[in-house]
Amino acid sequence: MDENKQSRKIMWYSLAFMAFSAVWGFGNVVNGFSEFGGLKAIVSWILIFAIYFVPYTLMVGELGSSFKNLGGGVSSWIDETIGPKLAYYAGWTYWVVHLPYISQKPQGAIIAGCWTIFQNNTVSKLDPKLLQFLCLVIFLAGLWVASRGIKPLKQITTIAGTSMFVMSILFILLMVAAPAITHNSNLLNIDWSAKTFLPTFDLKYFTSLSILVFAVGGCEKISPYVNKMKDPERGFPKGMIALAIMVAVCAILGTISLGMMFDSNNVPKDLLTNGAYYAFQRLGEYYHLGNTFVVIYAITNVIGQISTLILSIDAPLRILLETTDKKYIPSKLFVKNKYGSFTNGNKLIGIIVCILIIIPAFGIGNVDSIVRWLVKLNAVCMPLRYLWVFVAYIALKRAGEKFSAEYRFTKSKTMGIIMGAWCFIFTAFACIGGMYSDNKFQLIMNIVTPFILVGLGIIMPKLAERERIAKEQL
């Protein structure tokens, strides 16, 4: 091999860092701390990394290596291993689960905006109808921008995302060092006995697992880089184990950092709404820098949330329509405007997301409850796309030696199928369990939303077929 080409190959540690920034975020630490009893979240993080995250990433590596020339991601893998119809359903699932995610972004921007301006938890005191009205305005503005072309946005999103990522790592480093540097009397002393860390395996625990699955998912984004590595057979698992260690260290140290700020036995009820901002605000107080950290974090979050909103409207729809067999989707959805944006696809997104924004304003009583519900709803819907990764992996192992790969998670066909089935069952269990709520309205919404979103995908091929028959009869 040419020496220059060899030097351009990705090293295992470079891949680990690339994957780390794609998979992990500070919000995951706050969500875990809030929903898993403060410091008790540490054991849950370790368990999820060991039994789910590591095998998941290694399976993605084998899929990426087996189908190195395919650009469509999961739906391409399904197309190769099973067929175009299921590939369409995989592509549809990948797209449609982004809709609750899109409905959450305006809310995130408003929370960040309130912290930028007021530097306190004013947003929690807003009338939920006003909050959702503002979300609707921001979403419709984002939809309009997305329909006009979004070329510069990817760079803005990357810069904002990188800034938030750097801030998250900085938070952990400064908090771990805080007792030695600041000698602040407001820091809580952690009880290091087992009872502080052992979770209670009750109904709430098992119905919250979807939050952990959602947090560690999405590593299929790195699959295109497997075959660009130097020595993928040894380098990829090394990179993924390094990734798992880095994520685990951040989750553990991040949780301990929050445990120095918030009492695990009395976690604030608005932590999902304001937790990250409380954390940066207190960090600034410990280091006598006032609200410097929280304002920087809030500003980058406003930019990040809005740019992610616009990208999430355009990119997943584009992937669905440009990589799926056209016979499964009505031709009207392929209509483009002069900017190259899918006009009717955007209208469909607009209708569904507007419904997702409007309904909770009339059924959920306060801002913090709406935020919690949307986090839970996303944790139910988003991991549905991971199911197709495991379906593709099971199909790949069943195909035996039909597909060659530079990297294999396991050479055993049986072991591969068992591991794929385990991750599929665990993901499905987490999603179904995550639907549970003791609030009747939220329970109905958690069940109905994913069924309707996925169910629309069953209707589309029928509409496309009816359209074809009508054309043939003309």
Say what the pLDDT of residue 16 is: 86
Residue 1 in this model has a pLDDT that exceeds 70: no
| CB-based contact 97:381 (threshold 8 Å) | yes
Beta strands in 13-86 (DSSP E): none
Say what the pLDDT of residue 267 is: 93
- What percent of the chain clears pLDDT 90, i.e. is strictly above it? 69
Name the pLDDT band for 22 (thresholds 50, 70, 90).
confident
The CATH class that applies to domain 12-466 reads mainly alpha
CB atoms within 10 A of CB 440: 9
Range scoring the smallest mean pLDDT among 4-18, 54-68, 137-151, 182-196: 4-18
Across the range 154-174, mean pLDDT stands at 86
Residue 8 in this model has a pLDDT that exceeds 90: no
Say what the pLDDT of residue 150 is: 67
* Cα–Cα distance, 358 to 355 (Å, whole number): 5
- Computed on alpha carbons and rounded to an integer, the radius of gyration of the chain in Å comes to 23
Task: Kindly report, residue by residue over 395-432, the tens digit of the pLDDT.
Answer: 999 998 888 888 899 999 999 999 999 999 999 999 99
| CB-based contact 67:77 (threshold 8 Å) | yes
Across the range 69-77, mean pLDDT stands at 78
Residue 155 in this model has a pLDDT that exceeds 80: no
Name the pLDDT band for 70 (thresholds 50, 70, 90).
confident
| CB-based contact 74:222 (threshold 8 Å) | no
| CB-based contact 301:199 (threshold 8 Å) | no
Residue 3 in this model has a pLDDT that exceeds 70: no
The encoded tokens of residue 223 equal 């699959």
Closest C-alpha among 37, 431, 412 to residue 200 = 37
Residue 182 in this model has a pLDDT that exceeds 90: no
Say what the pLDDT of residue 4 is: 45
Q: What is the largest CA-CA distance in the chain?
A: 82
Q: Which residue has the tokens 């999603």?
A: 431
Say what the pLDDT of residue 365 is: 86
Residue 400's alpha-carbon distances to 251, 338, 397, 416, in angstroms, are 37, 46, 5, 10
Residue 2 in this model has a pLDDT that exceeds 60: no
* Cα–Cα distance, 80 to 258 (Å, whole number): 45
Residue 6 in this model has a pLDDT that exceeds 50: no
pTM value surpassing 0.85: yes
* Mean model confidence pLDDT for the chain: 91
In order, the DSSP letters of 160-211 are HHHHHHHHHHHHHHHHHHHHHHT--TTSPPP--SHHHH----SHHHHTTHHH
Across the range 305-315, mean pLDDT stands at 90
Across the range 338-367, mean pLDDT stands at 94
Say what the pLDDT of residue 264 is: 93
Name the pLDDT band for 132 (thresholds 50, 70, 90).
very high
Closest C-alpha among 185, 205, 195 to residue 260 = 185
Across the range 93-97, mean pLDDT stands at 95
Name the pLDDT band for 7 (thresholds 50, 70, 90).
very low
Say what the pLDDT of residue 72 is: 59
Say what the pLDDT of residue 431 is: 97
Across the range 63-72, mean pLDDT stands at 78
Name the pLDDT band for 10 (thresholds 50, 70, 90).
confident
Name the pLDDT band for 348 (thresholds 50, 70, 90).
very high
Say what the pLDDT of residue 47 is: 96
Reading phi first (left if > 0) and then psi (alpha if -120 to 50, else beta), residue 133 is in alpha
- What percent of the chain clears pLDDT 70, i.e. is strictly above it? 97
Across the range 230-253, mean pLDDT stands at 87
Report which listed range, 7-21, 50-64, 105-119, 301-315, is most confident.
Answer: 105-119
Say what the pLDDT of residue 69 is: 76
Phi, psi of 43 (to 5 degrees): -60, -40
Closest C-alpha among 386, 443, 467, 422 to residue 78 = 386
